[in-house]
Structure 1
């Protein structure tokens, strides 16, 4: 996994987020669109991808997924999919763009809670960066496991 410093990607991805937000709202006008992931956290190193949370009313979740698919997003294979969460990706950008379509009030709102916790605490960002550097040359499953443990710890779930 190649990691980028914030100065190498954050400004570009902030601009891309604004464009993606506009396209998501065109397809799902009732959605709340949030920039999440490392690119939304000052000082965080990243793979250089853009993660976006599309928060919708639970009754509109499947409709939102269908509307985003109709606008060009595709369901991301090999990811968790529930009535409250669907991950989509865009094949039409220079950067990897992933949408997490989340039912409001569900446990999957943790994407925003994690972002907010790191934005409030630069020491957590340092720990997160150290974890990424420690696992960048290891198998992806090991990294995902360590990342999940870190997120659970930050959110007080362990």
Structure 2
């Protein structure tokens, strides 16, 4: 059973931001029109993190197939994740830190990663709740943590803060 461990994000802030910028540059070279954003816990000060960096690459529906093809030249497809006509996940588990890349069509059903970041940045109570959830699952099953995390974000998507989040 894979166990989950968390760290204070402040331990990695500078390194993770530099890491993000390196990958953003690579992605923008291939996809100049893409909106490339640092998302996930490493993008949120005072958060607890597994230490991996998450990037959301947002493209138009017309660009999606080409973007998927080009990102496949940089990263491994994440076969554990869902794959749709508007969403594709990639990863690089060998990088330090590990990297996750979420390719989404702008305004599609999976174009929410940046919204989660914004809501957590602006709402201390939600961030504290999310950090508490992580502490509860420290050194426990990764699958159980992912299920609890999914429930947390499903609830967050129903809030006014999330619904009113605009670009």
**TM bin (shorter chain):** over 0.9
Superimposed CA distance per residue, residues 104-155 of structure 1 (whole angstroms, 9 cap, x where no aligned partner) = 1101111111111000011211111100111123222211111111111112
When normalised by structure 2's length, the TM-score is 0.88
**Residues in 1 aligned to 2:147 and 2:13: alpha-carbon distance in whole angstroms:** 25
Q: Is the 8 A contact 2:10 2:45 kept in 1?
A: no
Measured against aligned partners, the alpha-carbon deviations of 1:68-107 in whole angstroms (never above 9, x if no partner) come to 122x211012111111110011356221111100011101
Give, in whole Å, the separation in 1 of the partners of 2:94 and 2:65: 22
How many angstroms apart in 2 are the aligned matches of 1:51 and 1:32?
14
Q: Which has a greater percent of helix? A: 1
2:42 alignment partner, one of 36, 39, 44? 39
1:69 to 62, 72, 90: 72
Between the aligned partners of 1:143 and 1:91, the Cα distance in structure 2 is 19
Residue number in structure 2 paired with 1:8: 11
| CA contact 2:55–2:102 (8 Å) conserved in 1 | yes
Instruction: Answer yes or no: is 1:133 the counterpart of 2:132.
Output: no
- Between 1 and 2, higher relative CO (CA 8 Å, sep ≥ 6) is seen in 2
Which blocks of at least 5 consecutive residues in structure 2 are unaligned? Answer: 160-167
Point out the more displaced range, 147-156 or 90-99.
Answer: 90-99
Structure 1 runs, 4 residues or longer, greater than 6 Å off = none
